[in-house]
Amino acid sequence: MSAKDQIQNTIEGADVVLFMKGTKSMPQCGFSSRVAGVLNFMGVEFTDVNVLADPEIRQEIKDFSDWPTIPQLYVKGEFVGGCDIITEMTLSGELDQLFEAKGVAYNKEAADKIREANG
């Protein structure tokens, strides 16, 4: 199976997928850590894909999304963005709206706490 097929199958097989450096329990870069931390804090169930474990996946995900950096978040098959975009969406409430529109469970109180702490 090609790297592109693996990526497509992963995205189609889970509601929320984070392509990241490291894993959700042990991120290996600050940007991946930030996004995984937000999702974990908000109680979002997500599949993590460690791009450091597979150089082909690491390169192909950038081509697949036409986005040059890692991490990359997908929700219900749709590319959402990287660390800066996810941070902005979390603080503005747009991430909450996206999860609600897509039927993804998350902890609204936790999301509000993130905004209060960074407001």
Binding site members for [2Fe-2S] cluster: 29
What is the reported pLDDT for 94? 98
Where do the domains of the chain lie, and which CATH numbers do they carry? Answer: 3-117 (3.40.30.10)
Q: Is the pLDDT of residue 89 over 80?
A: yes
The answer to whether the pTM exceeds 0.85 is yes
- Tokens 């097929």 — which residue? 5
pLDDT band at 98 (very low <50, low <70, confident <90, very high): very high
Residues 24-68 pLDDT 10s: 999 999 999 999 999 999 999 999 999 999 999 999 999 999 999
Arithmetic mean of pLDDT over the chain: 97
∠ CA 16-18-23, nearest 5°, is 125
Binding site members: 29
The amino acid at residue 2 is S
Taking the C-alpha atoms of residue 41 and residue 61, their distance in angstroms, rounded to an integer, is: 25
